Amino acid sequence: MFNWANKYFHLAEHQTTVRTEMLAGLTTFSTLAYALLLIPSILADAGIDFSSSLTAMAIIGAFSSIVMAFLANYPFVLAPGIALAVYFTYFVVLGRGYSWEVGLGLVFLAGITLLLLNLLRIRQLIIEVIPLSIRLSTTAGLGLFLALIGLKNAGIITAHPDTLLSFGDPSSVAHAMTALGLVAIGVMMVYRIPGAIFLGILLVWLVSFAFGWASWKGLVSWPSSLSPTLFQLDVRGAFRQDAFSVYLSLLFVSLFDSTGTLLGLAEEGGFLEECDIPGRTCLFPRVSKAVMPDTLGTIFGSMLGVTPVAVYLESAAGIAVGGKTGLTALTAGFLFLVALFFAPFASSIPSFATAPALVLIGAMMLKPITRLPWDDPSEWIPGFVTLILIPFTYSIAIGIAVGYITYCLLKLFSGKLKEVHWLSWILGALFVLKFLLFPHS
């Protein structure tokens, strides 16, 4: 088996091993396992059966990640996205009053549109012409976003009605366990101990379990039936005239959330290649294959009863411990299938156990901003706008969109029009139209 894996995933060529890749897959999965329960609970607010969507979530996560492994050979793990599930539930269904069946029909249509964009290579071109400043800042913005999620999960940052954010209760167990995890992982990193992030998660979980701060919810359970959601999407209802704006908004969020994460992780993993082709800032090897898994997952996921699929930002955890190939994604995909039978065990891991990993990985993703051209305001200002808006709007898509608009305007009024690719002008105009026509979607 090891020989097959080495040959198929080109492990030697990527200077990695089966052990490293499998550990990376395990690390990534452990940091996103919470989503297996979070996504179904969000979709339950839209009226979708919790147990059925949990089964669908695991199946689609496995399918999409395995497709990424074998088709593109990248260590990116996919599953139905949290931001997209929130958008679907609270804007499409509860906000606009569509049934969840019609909502899934809109998801299906958005997936088909993404497939067409992929086949026409439009999405691939978008990735390769994104300005360097936006590209680097997207990675750093994702890092801040990831750190913010970790701090929120640990209760270190809480909502405040006057100041927006506030410091949580420092005497809480979550604070203490997060501090333990940060120190433990940090020390192991200093001594270059392999698997420091995963070991830190394991340590916090074991300590919290030993002191009764984490409950044991069981080990094994039989997967729930898909029948309440299987093929329940209403595609005909999605063609209602008043649903067009929702379809466009859903397509926008799906396209730029997943594409932004894919680009940021590719930058973090060192998979992008600089190029001298006029108008292009990078080459993304196998990009045509890398953009297919989330598209196929979205299409098939809508048939099973879940919302659009996205590349998970937590894939950075696997990259941080050495994941370089599709074997990482394959391992995580297999664990999604295992989780079908071990859902009680997965739910036993408290969110504060993975919080330190998310915070430190987020910190490591800030490195690219050192490469920003700080002597050129027409570059670093759009970069900063992108970086700061991603975490503070809780939206990758909005951060990229506003950053892009800022970039185009600064280049226009500073007489640097030739530095902007023609597709970037089109994207900038489309982003402006999006905010004018659908400002709250």
Structure confidence by residue, pLDDT tens digits, 362-399? 888 888 888 889 999 999 999 999 999 998 888 878 89
Structure confidence by residue, pLDDT tens digits, 196-246? 887 888 899 899 989 988 878 777 888 888 999 999 999 999 888 778 878
pLDDT of res. 384? 96
Nearest Cα residue to 49 out of 187, 186, 229: 229
Measured from the Cβ of residue 41, the count of other Cβ atoms closer than 10 Å reads: 13
pLDDT of res. 278? 53
Interval 305-332 mean pLDDT: 93
User: End-to-end distance of the chain based on CA atoms, in angstroms?
Assistant: 48
Whether the per-residue pLDDT at 347 is higher than 70: the answer is no
Cα angle for residues 261, 54, 78 (degrees, 5° grid): 20
Q: How confident is the model at residue 67 (pLDDT cuts 50, 70, 90)?
A: very high
Helices then strands (H, E): number in the chain? 20, 4
For residue 337, give Cα distances in angstroms to 311, 325, 332, 341.
18, 20, 9, 8
383 alpha carbon, distance to own chain's centre = 20
DSSP 396-423: HHHHHHHHHHHHHHHHHHTT-GGGS-HH
Structure confidence by residue, pLDDT tens digits, 13-35? 889 999 999 999 999 998 888 78
Whether the per-residue pLDDT at 287 is higher than 90: the answer is no
Question: What is the C-alpha separation between 396 and 86, in angstroms, rounded?
Answer: 14
Q: How many CA within 13 A on the CB side of residue 145? A: 29
Residue 309 parent element (H or E): strand 309-311
Q: Say whether pTM exceeds 0.85.
A: no
pLDDT of res. 441? 61
